[in-house]
Amino acid sequence: MSSKQVSTSLNIVIVGGYPLYRLGLIALFDNLQVELNIRELGSWAETVPENPSVDLVCFFSYRDAQRFVEACGAGTRLPKMLLFSPYARLGQSLSKIPAQETIVLPLAISLQDAENYIRLLLEYGAEHVNKQLQYDQHIKQLFYPDPLSLTRREREVMHYIREGLDNDRIAEEMRIEKNTVKSFIQKIYRKFGVLNRTQAACVFTSSFYANY
């Protein structure tokens, strides 16, 4: 496949994120060797959804991306969107973010890999990049397990595990059989890719959604 040239001028909006994340992203864009107009915003609400001159909007929060899309409204032509997140599939559970306009990259991605995928996004669009991401096992391994992949009852079990309850107490609190608790826990281990309760609790506690 022949490579297209990235446009000689790009209007980029970066929304939120820690300062070091933003600095790394700006340094990455500098490597594209094009004229850049970068705006750093603290919130999605500062963006201008109707601005057709924006080529790319970068987010560090699913909620910011979701609210931006909702503010644009139905029928609005959306710019390309890049979302950095520790989780791969959270957006499918939370929002109406259109996959054909958005790519999700792990926060732990190297600058070189991020640059390669951003070039592809700008040249060929999100749909092309998402097809490649489906088969990139290295990138998939950089995402954390998704706490929202748990069912309501599995999340309930995880809340009790996080509080230090053993299987007998969990069964008592949930009014279910002890073997059912064991079955829930084994499913959680498989979904999180962990081996024990401590690892599962660390993954669950590290997520904002553990509070839901």
pLDDT tens digits for range 4-52: 556 668 889 999 888 888 888 998 888 887 788 888 877 666 665 556 6
Residue 42, pLDDT score? 73
What mean pLDDT is reported for the chain?
82
The single-letter code of the amino acid at 120 is L
For the cut 80, the answer to whether the pLDDT of residue 59 exceeds it is yes
pLDDT tens digits for range 129-143: 988 998 998 888 788
Element (H, E) at 35: strand 35-41
Encoded tokens for 101: 């306009």
pLDDT tens digits for range 176-203: 999 999 999 999 988 777 788 988 888 7
Nearest to 155 by CA among 169, 170, 142, 172: 170
Q: What percent of the chain has pLDDT over 90?
A: 31
Task: Kindly give the interhelix angle for 178-192 and 167-174, rounded to the nearest 10 degrees.
Answer: 110
Look at the block and give the residue holding tokens 């993954």: 203
Q: How many CA atoms lie within 13 A of 148 on its CB side?
A: 13
Look at the block and give the residue holding tokens 């951003």: 118
Q: How far is Cα 200 from Cα 194, in angstroms, rounded to an integer?
A: 6
Higher pLDDT, 148 or 106: 106
Are 102 and 96 in contact, with CB atoms under 8 Å apart? no
Q: What is the DSSP string of 32-73?
A: T-SEEEEEEESSGGGS-TT-TT--EEEES-HHHHHHHHHHH-
pTM above 0.85, yes or no: no
Domains of the chain: 9-141 (3.40.50.2300), 147-211 (1.10.10.10)
Neighbour count for residue 53 (Cβ, 10 Å): 9
